[in-house]
Chain A
């Protein structure tokens, strides 16, 4: 029997060796492919930044509108590309907030100028030259460092994959590394310039939630508020306890409980100021729906009324076969207040309220004293495509995407090509503020883990 062992081992060794050789080649091949992707993104970033830089320079020296328009178009396009390329290289361990912000500034400012130049036929003003100069100065700093890095990467065959493996996988702290140091320097250089300030109306606005007013409450009071809420809601809830303490833009206490009937975890968030139930969540297996959407809406309305949220108009229903999410907005003198929305999700199998959100309502709801619209709805709809079948017209106050103010608009709901759209048209100027396509979600089944 002993004589069998040696040949067996030899065969095994050969098989293993051959396999290992194949694997190693495959591995090298995959690394080269990943490296090629990263290198491509990096070199395109350098090239894009160079283009932005030279186009900004051209904008500074020319006054012919055609030339400026062509430059701004290039800048706008390349800035988007640069953002995408920067996001495609593995430098997540370097803080790049200001560099990313700069690229975004370049993109949105060039777009704004294009619009002003083109649509409003305006020439560049001294203030605008100044902003372009500011962007140009910063782009020079970025370009200089990027081309130094590029040279070093090319000369020394610096590998992005190698850096990624060491920094992200093994958690090494890479110092004196061309890529890490290069990007860190760029960020520091951009940071050393004062942050560019743009007027309202230029960049898209991410509205910060307004602070919620009210008396500061304690953890015990928050637990008591949560218990009262659960008792009022439906069925017994046990194990009510503090789950988290959040100090973000809206400070809250997170409280968890267990809905006994369905044995499902449920959570509420109570605002530290004023003790409002701001959000609720429930997680459970939901059966096929038996309730009609209308019944669900009634359940949602009853629930919201119990939270003292009355006089609400339904603006959107997002439903699938198991649940329906109803979005309501309050009104003032019959005008829909879109900023102040509340949402409630109803389980369509048993009519239970699963989740609830009044973050926007608590942040923004206040008395508006809305002025009368200068245009009649008729004056707007008369010019619309006759094939657009109008179903409903209401007045609404909608947030301006670019300025911290609201626009009085007609909300015109209608259908064309079997699709539903909602148009928001400025009730004073007649301009389209926003077009919303109400696509019905296409449901499909997905295999899931048990």
Chain B
């Protein structure tokens, strides 16, 4: 009985230590894919971090919004500038951006870079469940794909 308790205490104490050593890099890497430019990679990482698990067309739409911002005079003029505007995207804030992108995201980014845009000009998207900014709701909603709403 006594021994068991000690073991339990030791195990409980070791858990935080182990978790420190391991970190939480549980990113499963399966294969490689072809990237054709650094903008393509940035966009793919962003789509992957923001819209992984969304319908494919919703992932292209996220890429479309980023590229629409690059062209809009009210936003920075580069893909990198738009993606890393402070507070603009959750994936940059929570670090999802830095994970390896998914195959789907790489293809969606390629479609978006080549001009496909199911939103036809949207500048914003948000998740109605988790959106923290109340201001975002003043935007005109133009469509809804999966968990995201898109607006101008």
Using CB atoms and an 8 Å cutoff, list the residues of chain A in contact with chain B: 1-2, 4-5, 8-9, 12, 15-16, 19, 38, 83-84, 87-97, 100-101, 104, 164, 167-171, 173, 203-204, 206, 209, 243-250, 252, 254, 256, 265, 267, 269, 279, 281, 283, 285-286, 318, 320-323, 325, 343, 345, 355, 357, 359, 441-450
Contacts and interface: CB of A to CB of B under 8 A. Distances in A.
Contacts of B95: none
Interface in B130-148: 132-135, 138, 142-145
B55 A243 contact: yes
20 contacts: A1-B2, A8-B9, A19-B20, A87-B76, A93-B87, A243-B55, A244-B145, A245-B143, A281-B60, A318-B114, A343-B114, A357-B115, A357-B116, A442-B37, A445-B35, A448-B33, A448-B103, A449-B99, A449-B102, A450-B29
A318 B101 CA distance: 22
Nearest to B104: A283
Contacts of B33: 445-446, 448
Nearest to B136: A93
B27 interface: yes
A81 to B, nearest CB: 12
Interface residues of B, number: 70
A243 B57 contact: yes
Contacts of B74: 96-97, 100-101, 104
Contacts of B10: 8
A448 B81 contact: no
Nearest to B103: A448
Interface string B91-131: 00100000111111011101100111111111000000000
B54 to A, nearest CB: 11
Given A1-B3, A206-B72, A267-B118, 14 more contacts: A168-B133, A170-B132, A209-B120, A243-B55, A243-B57, A244-B144, A267-B55, A269-B118, A279-B116, A279-B118, A442-B36, A443-B34, A448-B100, A448-B102
Interface residues of B, dominant DSSP: mixed
Contacts of B37: 441-442
Contacts of A443: 34-36
B115 to A, nearest CB: 6
Given A320-B34, A449-B101, A2 B106 contact: no
B106 to A, nearest CB: 7
Interface in B25-43: 27-37, 41
Contacts of B60: 281
B100 A449 contact: yes
B121 A248 contact: yes
Contacts of B93: 168-169
Nearest to B102: A449
Contact of A448 (B72, B106, B119, B134): B106
B85 A87 contact: yes
B69 to A, nearest CB: 10
Contacts of B134: 173
Contacts of A245: 143-144
Given A164-B87, A246-B143, A321 B138 contact: no
